[in-house]
Structure 1
């Protein structure tokens, strides 16, 4: 089934925005991984390289790009004269304050003039090979989502106790399990969702929100992620795949690269060396303090995405 061009939606945090920093700090009661500023650090410019990958591998299918940012901040490498790149103030879209990505993901469908189907990127997700609408929709027009391909991450996601002792955000795995239990679909936990772009349908989203209105109403009021957070993206995928309205496939591979307080240089060297036949890259930031960016990541991104995208300012200094 042939689809028209679709919109792209990114979420991005400007960790240097003073108003955002002040706002975040006033709500913090106790510092932990979910509210640590290092989590929001964008100094590696992942978004810039993600846009370059989009230009390389998906540009013919793009209608508009929407960039949902804290306080409407605009990255300094963006060409603001482009009519097809629209910046959205995240707080205005939510009509509230939050520092949790799950919360903002529940309102992306409210972006004015958004296409019925839209492709959602985190700013740390990149394409490494051509992507077409056939990769996002099956022959019946149902959306396709991809399972996590990394065997180690699949194992860890089922055993969150392996993450917690090392401060590596075990909250996420616990939150996913709690979310799945709230759905009440089946006893067996599905595989984790791949760190890759996800196709959403606005009608599906609205239906899902009506079905789980209490959970999502609570979600839209939380400030920071915790193990009790209702994981909107995971819940959406698991619900519609359970009801055969979404294909959840183990087909495309994602290369996970990391920024962490320890061993990130060695980890990334090994993962890049061993990487074969992957379609996506995700840069997972596991830092618990404001450490420097990993040199191997910077070199990898610049080597594989050297050319500016059409949405990039020619006056950019980054």
Structure 2
């Protein structure tokens, strides 16, 4: 896969747990407290809105695809805007899998979106572009894509307990499957940042690990037998020789991870550190817990509005909330 292409589509996944009826559906299917963790479903900062505004830093932008559960559409979004398509889960997922609240399951269907370019940029809704240059940082000069990883090693399955988070179990499952397919080697977490995905090769990876993917898709919530496609694919791409593993410096250039906590001085410090580094992207991970601190929410909203004040072409003309 050569990265030298004029335009690239962007795919987002998004959900808002305040959308009418969503909380009731979630409660009917939830089986444990982690299933209703608001950190994964809350949209109190309108991060998707600002992420779309940040696409001004992506001159290679083709079409924007938003994948969400039916009938959700962000209240401020114009779903008929040129260059934008809103897809609902039932457009690409079997009815028997729905409703799903499992991000791993959802991501495993991204390549099936109608009209999607052969390669695309996957952004979670809390990821924003801070300055131009992302596509150049996602590939070698000859066009070979890069997989970006952190310094954090993946914990193997034999060191985990059943009560550890499904996220950690999923990483360990993926690692075990990768070891069986390509041979054992140390692997690290993928960065909290954009992913370059080739549709055909993504499908090939999912087929190679079909049993693990089937178990993942069958789980309405993240479960201990799942695998995260967003971790599986960049590692498999390196093992296959499609991608090169980025250096630490290259990954640091791309990733700007910030945990948004309820302690305002801590969040201010993390934001200051991120801005001082000047990464190409920022990921604002919701770590508010059950009750977001209004002072932290206000601080982040001021920062977002100051950094990205201009509406994107995808916003409704009558949308006034900032």
Question: TM-score, normalised to structure 2's length?
Answer: 0.86
Q: Does 1:274 align with 2:277?
A: no
Q: Does 1:49 align with 2:44?
A: no
1:61–1:132 Cα contact (<8 Å) kept: no
Secondary structure of the structure 1 residue equivalent to 2:234: helix
2:145–2:244 Cα contact (<8 Å) kept: yes
2:40–2:286 Cα contact (<8 Å) kept: yes
Secondary structure of the structure 1 residue equivalent to 2:189: coil
CA distance in 1 between counterparts of 2:69 and 2:230 reads 20
2:257–2:284 Cα contact (<8 Å) kept: yes
Matching residue of 2:169: 174
Matching residue of 2:128: 126
Secondary structure of the structure 1 residue equivalent to 2:87: strand
Matching residue of 1:91: 90
Q: Does 1:314 align with 2:296?
A: no
1:179–1:235 Cα contact (<8 Å) kept: yes
User: What per-residue deviation string (whole Å, max 9, x for no partner) do you get for residues 10-62 of structure 1?
Assistant: 00002122333222111112222x4323431101100011111112x10x212
Matching residue of 2:244: 247
CA distance in 2 between counterparts of 1:80 and 1:52 reads 15
2:14–2:125 Cα contact (<8 Å) kept: yes
Residues 297 and 41 (structure 1 numbering): CA distance in 2 closer, same or farther, change over 3 Å? same
Give the superposition deviation at 1:258: 2.2
Give the superposition deviation at 1:254: 2.3
Matching residue of 1:108: 110
Q: 105-114 or 78-87, which moves further after superposition?
A: 78-87
Matching residue of 1:190: 187
Unpaired runs of 5+ in structure 1? none
Give the superposition deviation at 1:253: 4.2
Matching residue of 1:296: 299
Residues 274 and 135 (structure 1 numbering): CA distance in 2 closer, same or farther, change over 3 Å? closer
Secondary structure of the structure 1 residue equivalent to 2:133: coil
CA distance in 2 between counterparts of 1:248 and 1:78 reads 36
Unpaired runs of 5+ in structure 2? none
Secondary structure of the structure 2 residue equivalent to 1:23: helix
Q: 177-186 or 108-117, which moves further after superposition?
A: 177-186
Give the superposition deviation at 1:287: 3.4
Give the superposition deviation at 1:72: 3.8
User: What per-residue deviation string (whole Å, max 9, x for no partner) do you get for residues 107-150 of structure 1?
Assistant: 111111111001100000011110353333334443223223xx
Matching residue of 2:220: 223
Secondary structure of the structure 1 residue equivalent to 2:188: coil
Q: Does 1:39 align with 2:40?
A: yes
1:259–1:286 Cα contact (<8 Å) kept: yes
Residues 292 and 271 (structure 1 numbering): CA distance in 2 closer, same or farther, change over 3 Å? closer
1:128–1:280 Cα contact (<8 Å) kept: yes
CA distance in 2 between counterparts of 1:278 and 1:78 reads 27
Matching residue of 1:3: 5
1:20–1:70 Cα contact (<8 Å) kept: no
1:39–1:286 Cα contact (<8 Å) kept: no
Q: How many residues end up aligned between the 2 structures?
A: 303
Q: 190-199 or 13-22, which moves further after superposition?
A: 13-22
Residues 118 and 171 (structure 1 numbering): CA distance in 2 closer, same or farther, change over 3 Å? same
CA RMSD of aligned residues (A): 2.5
Structure 1 runs (4+) greater than 6 angstroms displaced: none
